[in-house]
């Protein structure tokens, strides 16, 4: 049975050309980048070239690039590092309820310290912040705002230029988690007026374990770890030279958005939604236009989220949910909760996020499998249009089995 991977927002496949760049560095004797011998200088050279590549891509200075282990570290370094470095100016911070947990948990850690106050902005039913409400939330001692450019679950894109303009006028630092935007939409650091940007390689066909934080020159940052003077004393630890080189190659290949492919993906997800909308009890979550072109978030009323994902996987569809499974129970997505999506809808939500590996001609087969899975799961649960069934009720093993015709 052919499988279809529809989970690019979780991680993309490693491009063979990226792997080809990394392999010589993994198989040869590559030294520690801090060592002075030839092997060490070779590793340092790879990192320096990669840093130049990243800087050229971002239209930035090489000294503004801080390599990290990935997006989570980049977000934590930005949020906690900037807040602590500028605490003397003020201790009020602003973020949004729909941020990735890498950002939200970093802010909550600052709150728990008792040293900072955090305002968590609401979003509307389509996942967008209200610019007037944002402006009114700013206080005289506000020092840092962190708002993601595009949401990982819904794909909703925030008005970055307008946010940046408000921050710039108030002299407030502006960090953005642009991890989902990279390779999917064009972004402009100068136009957004950002102070720091978090990125990672594996969302754009690069390797796992490589990320970066772009930090505007002259902006102080408190380091989170101790143990070395790496990355201009901002992030100690031996750099992962092969992964960093792979990240640079991924940027070379995917850093400039392919507008033709982007438009194709937008049309594909729109067609997918039109097909799914013909089913009873479905809803789309997030703004239909102001979104990443590859992302579609859909809820199916009357189903159990974990069982739906298992059944779709057995049907050959790799898809993620908007909810987190914890010890056999399903906890509704904080993103959907912030958007006001009712629990009975949020309970069975899936996120379709495609890449170039999904072709136009794959749509009909993918839709056929989804429809069969949804209808079969609903039949097992006795769901009928207009009825409400508790998603918390745990089905039997028989209920979560997929119908043989799908396989």
Angle at 101 between CA 230 and CA 65, to 5 degrees: 25
pLDDT band at 394; cut points 50, 70, 90? very low
Q: Please determine, for residue 325, whether its predicted confidence score (pLDDT) is greater than 70.
A: no
User: For residues 75 and 347, which has the higher predicted lDDT (pLDDT)?
Assistant: 75
Q: Say how far apart CA 150 and CA 192 lie, in whole Å.
A: 13
Q: What value does the mean pLDDT take over residues 330-359?
A: 92
Q: Say how far apart CA 336 and CA 342 lie, in whole Å.
A: 8
Q: Is 325 a catalytic residue?
A: yes
Q: Please determine, for residue 384, whether its predicted confidence score (pLDDT) is greater than 80.
A: no
Alpha-carbon distances, residue 150 vs 3, 147, 201, 394 (angstroms): 27, 9, 16, 34
Q: Please determine, for residue 284, whether its predicted confidence score (pLDDT) is greater than 60.
A: yes
Whether the CA torsion 374, 380, 381, 386 is positive or negative: it is positive
Q: Show the domains of the chain with their CATH numbers.
A: 16-254 (3.40.640.10), 258-381 (3.90.1150.10)
Q: Please determine, for residue 326, whether its predicted confidence score (pLDDT) is greater than 70.
A: no
Contact criterion met (CB below 8 Å) for 10 and 354: no
Please tell me the pTM assigned to this model.
0.91
How is residue 30 written in tokens? 């590559």
Contact criterion met (CB below 8 Å) for 72 and 99: no
- Catalytic residue chosen out of the listed positions 75, 167, 325, 403: 325
Any idea of the CA torsion for 13, 235, 78, 355, to the nearest 10 degrees?
-10
Q: Say how far apart CA 196 and CA 152 lie, in whole Å.
A: 19
Helices (H), 255-362: 259-276, 305-314, 334-338, 343-346
Helices (H), 235-391: 241-254, 259-276, 305-314, 334-338, 343-346, 363-381
The helix, strand and coil proportions of the chain, stated in percent and rounded to the nearest 5, come to 40, 15, 45
Q: Please determine, for residue 324, whether its predicted confidence score (pLDDT) is greater than 70.
A: no
Q: What value does the mean pLDDT take over residues 26-47?
A: 89
pLDDT band at 388; cut points 50, 70, 90? low
How is residue 302 written in tokens? 């009357």
164-223: per-residue pLDDT in tens?
A: 999 999 999 999 999 999 999 988 899 999 999 999 999 999 999 999 999 999 999 999
């Amino acid at each position: 049975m052919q499988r279809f991977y529809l989970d690019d927002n979780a991680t993309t496949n490693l491009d063979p050309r990226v792997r080809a760049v990394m392999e010589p560095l993994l198989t040869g004797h590559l030294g520690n980048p801090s060592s002075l011998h030839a092997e060490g200088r070779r590793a340092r050279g790879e990192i320096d070239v990669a840093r130049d590549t990243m800087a050229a891509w971002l239209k930035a200075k090489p000294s503004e690039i801080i390599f990290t282990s990935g997006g989570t570290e980049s977000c934590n370094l930005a949020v906690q590092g900037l807040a602590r470095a500028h605490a003397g100016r003020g201790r009020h911070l602003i973020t949004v309820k729909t941020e990735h947990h890498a950002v939200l948990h970093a802010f909550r850690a600052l709150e728990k310290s008792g040293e900072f106050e955090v305002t968590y902005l609401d979003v509307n039913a389509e996942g967008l912040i209200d610019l007037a409400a944002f402006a009114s939330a700013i206080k005289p001692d506000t020092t840092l705002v962190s708002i993601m450019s595009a949401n990982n679950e819904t794909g909703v894109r925030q008005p970055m230029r307008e946010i940046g303009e408000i921050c710039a006028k108030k002299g407030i630092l502006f960090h953005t988690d642009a991890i989902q935007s990279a390779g999917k939409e064009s972004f402009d650091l100068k136009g957004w007026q950002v102070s720091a940007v978090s990125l990672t390689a594996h969302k754009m066909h690069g390797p796992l374990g490589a990320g970066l934080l772009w930090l505007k020159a002259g902006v102080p940052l408190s380091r989170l770890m101790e143990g070395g003077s790496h990355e201009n004393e901002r992030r100690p630890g031996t750099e992962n030279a092969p992964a960093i080189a792979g990240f640079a190659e991924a940027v070379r290949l995917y850093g400039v958005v392919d507008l033709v492919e982007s438009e194709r993906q937008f049309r594909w997800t729109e067609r997918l939604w039109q097909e799914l909308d013909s089913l009873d009890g479905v809803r789309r979550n997030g703004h239909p236009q102001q979104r990443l072109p590859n992302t579609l978030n859909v809820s199916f009323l009357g189903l159990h989220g974990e069982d739906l994902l298992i059944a779709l996987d057995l049907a050959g569809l790799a898809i993620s949910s908007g909810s987190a499974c914890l010890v056999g129970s399903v906890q509704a997505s904080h993103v959907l909760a912030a958007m006001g999506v009712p629990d009975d809808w949020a309970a069975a939500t899936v996120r379709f996020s495609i890449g170039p590996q999904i072709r136009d001609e794959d749509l009909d087969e993918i839709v056929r499998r989804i429809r069969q899975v949804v209808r079969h799961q609903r039949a097992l649960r006795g769901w009928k249009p207009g009825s409400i069934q508790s998603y918390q009720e745990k089905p039997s093993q028989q209920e979560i089995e997929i119908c043989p015709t799908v396989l």
